[in-house]
Amino acid sequence: MSDRLVYVCDGGDCSEKGSVELFEKLRNRLAEVDPGEEKARVRKYPCFGGCEHGINLTVWPDRVFYSKVKEDDLDEIVDHVEKNAPPLERLCGIVKKDVEDIIWEMLDSPY
């Protein structure tokens, strides 16, 4: 079982901003360093609710919510996920706190 789940928003606004392509690139980069998905799995998420700040992605159970993610950020995100590097502060704290709290509540749920 993987240590971490990385969810990339697949909602309409984020998709229009390139989240589908970003998802594929992130998944491919993580597969290069973790081909068996032992440390992390990348999955799509229907919508986080922070549409105006997309592309959004989360790293769980770290409770890191990244917004305004671009392809140029992926190497640093891979370092965070695979090498336990610190989160990218410039991409954190952008969506409203209650949006983040709702997402963590859902992801923490055993259901």
| pLDDT of 1 above 60 | no
The pTM (predicted TM-score) of the whole model is: 0.93
Q: How far is CA 55 from the centre of its chain?
A: 9
- Other CB atoms within a 10 A radius of the CB of residue 28 amount to 11
Report the pLDDT value the prediction gives residue 2, as an integer from 0 to 100.
65
Which pLDDT tens digit goes with each residue over 70-88? 999 999 999 999 999 999 9
Q: Which fold has domain 4-108?
A: Glutaredoxin (3.40.30)
Please give the radius of gyration of the chain, using alpha carbons only, rounded to the nearest integer. 13
Report the pLDDT value the prediction gives residue 111, as an integer from 0 to 100.
72
Q: Which two tokens stand for residue 80?
A: 């965070």
Question: Which of 14, 22, 15, 16 lies closest to 72, judged by CA?
Answer: 22
Which pLDDT tens digit goes with each residue over 7-61? 999 999 999 999 999 999 999 999 999 999 998 999 999 999 999 999 999 999 9
Tell me the domain boundaries of the chain.
Answer: 4-108
Q: Which two tokens stand for residue 16?
A: 């229009």
Q: What angle do CA 10, 84, 53 make, to 5 degrees?
A: 30
